Structure 1
Amino acid sequence: MKTRTLQRDKVNIITLGCSKNMVDSEVLSGQLRANNIDVVHESTKKDHNIVVVNTCGFIDKAKEESVNTILDQVALKKKGRIDKVYVTGCLSHRYREDLEKEIPEVDAWFGTMELPLMLKRFEADYKAELLGERLLSTPQHYAYLKISEGCNRTCAFCAIPLMRGGHVSRSIEDLVKEAEGLVRRGVKEILLIAQELTYYGLDLYKKRMLPDLLHRLADIKGLEWIRLHYAYPSKFPLEILDVMRERKNICNYLDMPLQHASDNMLKAMRRQITKAEMTDLIHTIRHRVPGICLRTTLIAGFPGETAEDVEELKGFLQEHRFDRVGIFAYSHEEGTSAYGLEDSIPADEKQQRAQEVMEVQQEISYEKNQEKVGQVFRTLIDKKEAGRYLGRTEFDSVEVDNEVIIHSQDKLPIGDFVDVRITKAYDYDIEGEVVRAS
C-alpha cells in the first residue's frame, strides 16, 4: 500500500476495552506480520505511519475513551505525523454510519468481523493457516485464548450481541492446536475467554463441551495454569467442577458475573436465574471444589433499582464472601431491551451505590487476605517494578485481581514460578518472601 511517505509502512495497533479485543488485535498483528508488514502494539516510539484503533463500545465510559483516542490519532494525522488512521472493533461496528459523518478524517471503518476486509487495505491476504500465530501483546508467559465469539443470551442491559453477533464456538481441535503453539512459544498460563464460556460447543456439537475442551487442554505438556473467565450462572454445567477438581493445571478459580442479587433486579435484567438458585449454585461450587476462588461482577443503578435492592445486594456479598468483586455503574445502551426503561437514577447516585457495595467487598477482601498470612502459595512472577517483583497465585487473574508483592535480593526470572510465604496483607494485595523455587 502506497502512502505519501517513502519509508516502509509500519502499523501501530491501539487496543481499548476487554481481553477479547486484545486477542483480535493480536490476530491482526500476526496477519500483518505474515504479509511482511511491520507492526507494533501501542508503541511509544512514534516511528509508525499508520494507526489502527481497536475500539470498545460496551458502556458510555468506554465509548468516550474510544472516541477520544480516535480524535487524538486524527489530530496527529492532521499534523502530518502519521499517514492513515483505521478504526475497528465494537464501537466502529455499532456506530459506523454516525462516526463516518462525525470524524471524516478516518480513512476507513471496520466492524468486528471484517478482518479480511481490513487486510485488503494493506494489500494483504488473510492467511487461514495462521492458527494461533499472533503477536502477543501480553508478557510471553501468559496469553488469552478466545474459545467462542458472540452471545445468545438476552440480558436486558447488554449490547454485546449487537456488536459481536450470536454465539459461534471454535472447534476443540483448533483451540488445542493454538494452545499447543502458545506453549511452544513459552506460554505457561492460558486464560480462557468468551462472552459466555458455559455455552461453548452447543452450536458445533449440540451439547455443552467446555468440560471436554478443558480435559484436552489440561493434557498439553508444559501448560501450567488454565483459568476460566465469564461463566454464566443459569444452567451452569456442573461437570466443569469435576474437571477442575481432577486436573491439577486447571486453576481453582471461576469468574462468574452475577450482576445482582435482588430477584426484582435479576428478573428485570433478564438473567434467567433467581437469588435462591444462585445461592444453591455457589454452595455447590464450593462443595465440589473446596478452596475455589470465586470472582463476580455486579451492576449498580439498573432502572428501577431501589435502596432496598442495594441493601439486599450488600447482604448477599456479606453472606457469600466472594474472593473478588468488580462493579459497573449501569450504562443506558440503545438497542438493548432495557433501553425502553426509564434511566431515572442520576449518574452520581449510580456511582455512590457502586461505592457502597465495594466498601462492603473491600472489608471482605481484607479479611480474606489476612487469612493468607503465614501460608505458602505457588506464585507466577509477572514483572519487576520499583525494585520489587509482582506475581500472582492461581487465585488471581491478570490486572483485575490481587498481586503478590515480593521483595527478593535474588533474581526471579519473569514467567517463573516460586513459592512465597505471605507476611503481610492489604485490602487487595498481599506481600511475602520467597521460600524456594517452585
Structure 2
Amino acid sequence: MKFYLISLGCPKNLTNSEEFSARLIANGHQMVFSPDESDEIIINTCGFIASAVQEAKDEIRHALELKRKGLVKKVAVTGCLVERFKEQVAKEFPEIDTLFSIGAQEQIEKALKTRGTLLEPLPSSLYLPHYKMSLTAPHTAYLKIADGCNNRCAYCTIPFIRGPYRSKPMEDIVREARLMSQNGVQEISLIAQDTTSYGMDLYGKVQFLPLLEKLLKIRGLKRLRIMYAYPHRMTREIARLMASTDKIFHYVDIPLQHIADPVLKRMNRHCDGAQIRRTLDMLKKEVPDISLRTNFIVGFPGETQKDFNELKKFVAEYEFDNMGVFEYFREKGTAAYEMKQISAAVKHERSRELEEVQSRVIDRINKRLIGTTLEAIADGKDFGRTYKDAPDIDGKVTFTRPVKAGSIFKARVVAAQGYEREVEPVK
C-alpha cells in the first residue's frame, strides 16, 4: 500500500505521525509525497482550537474530493479531531473509510483495514517507540518527553483530548536522544504539553533538571532546545544549568497567556503576575543572553481595559524575542465556555494593538542586534535560524554566503527587518 500523509497541528502531533508512519514502512508499505501517487491518504488532525478544526475539515474535504475523482482509493483520519469530535466527524463525513483514535495509532495496520471507526483508549504510559522516522529536516528533531496535561487551564481542551500527564521513562528518553545524535541530528527540541512537569507522575516529583543533566552526558549531543515550559516551574537551577553549557540553546518557549492577576485567576493558571515577573527576571539575570518566546490570549472572558493595558505595558517592558497573539475562542467543554464573553470586535482590536506593541519591541531588538555575533543553525545552504528561533514557529535568517546545511556556526547580524534577519557566517 502506498500512503500519503498529512500531519497537522503541533510538534507533539508530528511525533505521533513519525511513529505510525515508521510502523507502516517497517511492514512493507510505502510513503509517497503526492496524493495522486497514493492508494490511501492518512490525515493526522489537530482539534485544539476552532481554526485547527476548520483546517482539518478543509483537508478532509479535499482528500474526499480526490477519492470521488478516483485519484485515491481510501481516506483515513486520526488525531485530536477524532478524539474530540468522533461522532460529529463521522456524521459530517460519511465517506471517510476509517476514523481511528490516537490510541489506535499503535495498531495502524489494523486501523487501516477497519471500515468505519476504531477507537482505543489513550496509552496509560509512554515508552521508546519501536519504530520512528523523521518528518523534519535531517539535522533537527522533536523528542516528546511526556504527553497529556494536568494543569486544567480554563480555556484549554488538551486534558480531555490528550488525557492526564504521562511521562516517558528517563532511560527511554536518553536512548532516543542518543539515537538521534548518532543519526546526525544537531538540534533536539524537547516537547510535551508542559516539559517542566516532567517526571511528576513516574517519580513522585518533577525530574526535568535531572533529565537535562543526563541528556548532557550523551557523547555527540550537539544542542537541546526547551519548549513549552510552565512559568513557575522554570527554576533557578535549570537556568544555571543552561548558563553553564553551550549544549542547551539559551532559549526558552514559556507560554504566559496573560499578566493581569484577575485574568490569570479566571484562566486557572497556577501562577500570578508577580511570579511570572520573578521568573523572567531570574532567567535574564542567570542567562544574560536568554531568548524568550511566549504566547498571549487577548479577549479572555472578563478581561477589562485595565487588564489589557497592563498586558501591553508588560510586553513593551519585557521585550520577548518571539511572541504569538491569539484571540480567545470559546471552546465547548472548557470552564471558560460558560463565562460571559467579550465581543469579537473588541478581541480583534486588542489583538491588533498588542501586535503593534510587539512590532515596536522587535524594532528595538533589531537595532541592538546589528553587528552582534550569534550562534546560528543552517536549515539550508543559504537560510536558517539563530539560536533565538525554534524550528517552524519563529523567525528566519538568510546567509551572506553559503554554508553546509545542518551546521551550527557563529554569525554576525548585518541586517534585520521584523523577524527576518541577514547574517554573515564568521570563520
TM-score by length of 1: 0.91
Give secondary structure in 1 for the equivalent of 2:206. coil
CA contact (8 A) 1:132 1:179 kept: no
Give secondary structure in 2 for the equivalent of 1:114. helix
CA distance in 2, matches of 1:132, 1:404: 36
Q: Structure 1 residue 375 and structure 2 residue 367: aligned?
A: no
Moved more, 396-405 or 164-173: 396-405
Partner of 1:6: none
Partner of 2:298: 300
Partner of 1:413: 404
Q: Structure 1 residue 14 and structure 2 residue 12: aligned?
A: no
Q: 1:113 aligns with which of 81, 103, 109?
A: 103
CA contact (8 A) 2:154 2:267 kept: yes
CA distance in 1, matches of 2:186, 2:130: 15
- Inter-CA distance 238–419: structure 2 relative to 1 (3 Å threshold): closer
CA distance in 1, matches of 2:319, 2:338: 34
Measure how far apart 1:129 and its partner are. Answer: 9.5
Partner of 2:26: 34
Q: Structure 1 residue 183 and structure 2 residue 181: aligned?
A: yes
Q: 1:351 aligns with which of 342, 348, 367?
A: 348
Give secondary structure in 2 for the equivalent of 1:143. strand
Q: Which amino acid in the other structure matches residue 16 of structure 2? A: D
CA distance in 1, matches of 2:35, 2:271: 50
Q: 1:400 aligns with which of 385, 393, 397?
A: 393
- Inter-CA distance 351–223: structure 2 relative to 1 (3 Å threshold): farther
For residues 257-291 of structure 1, the C-alpha deviation after alignment (integer angstroms, 9 at most, x for no partner) is 11011111111101121111211111111112221
How many residues are treated as equivalent by the alignment?
Answer: 416
Measure how far apart 1:246 and its partner are. Answer: 2.1
Alignment of 1:238-249 (within 5 A): 238-249=236-247
Q: Structure 1 residue 253 and structure 2 residue 251: aligned?
A: yes
Q: 2:17 aligns with which of 22, 25, 41?
A: 25
CA contact (8 A) 2:128 2:173 kept: no
CA distance in 2, matches of 1:322, 1:401: 12
Alignment of 1:420-435 (within 5 A): 420-435=411-426
CA distance in 1, matches of 2:128, 2:212: 23
Give secondary structure in 1 for the equivalent of 2:369. coil
Alignment of 1:158-177 (within 5 A): 158-177=156-175
For residues 384-424 of structure 1, the C-alpha deviation after alignment (integer angstroms, 9 at most, x for no partner) is 5xxxx11222221112222221121xx42210123221111
For residues 351-403 of structure 1, the C-alpha deviation after alignment (integer angstroms, 9 at most, x for no partner) is 2211211111111112112211111222111125xxxx112222211122222
CA contact (8 A) 2:127 2:172 kept: no
- Inter-CA distance 192–372: structure 2 relative to 1 (3 Å threshold): same
Partner of 1:84: 74
Partner of 1:286: 284
CA distance in 1, matches of 2:375, 2:251: 14
CA contact (8 A) 2:127 2:168 kept: no
CA distance in 1, matches of 2:312, 2:216: 37
Unaligned runs of 5+ in 1: 1-8
Q: Which amino acid in the other structure matches residue 370 of structure 2? A: V
Give secondary structure in 1 for the equivalent of 2:103. coil
CA distance in 2, matches of 1:141, 1:172: 23
Q: Which amino acid in the other structure matches residue 147 of structure 1? A: I
CA contact (8 A) 2:139 2:184 kept: yes
Q: 2:84 aligns with which of 91, 94, 102?
A: 94
Partner of 1:3: none
CA distance in 2, matches of 1:184, 1:223: 8
Moved more, 230-239 or 183-192: 230-239
CA distance in 2, matches of 1:368, 1:209: 34
Q: 1:361 aligns with which of 335, 358, 362?
A: 358
Measure how far apart 1:132 and its partner are. Answer: 6.4
Q: Structure 1 residue 329 and structure 2 residue 327: aligned?
A: yes
Measure how far apart 1:345 and its partner are. Answer: 1.8
Q: 1:61 aligns with which of 51, 54, 65?
A: 51
Partner of 1:213: 211
Measure how far apart 1:111 and its partner are. Answer: 1.8
Q: Which amino acid in the other structure matches residue 105 of structure 2? A: L
CA distance in 2, matches of 1:77, 1:130: 35
- Inter-CA distance 257–132: structure 2 relative to 1 (3 Å threshold): farther
Measure how far apart 1:45 and its partner are. Answer: 6.0
Between the aligned residues of both structures, percent identity stands at 39
Partner of 2:120: none
Q: Which amino acid in the other structure matches residue 48 of structure 1? A: S
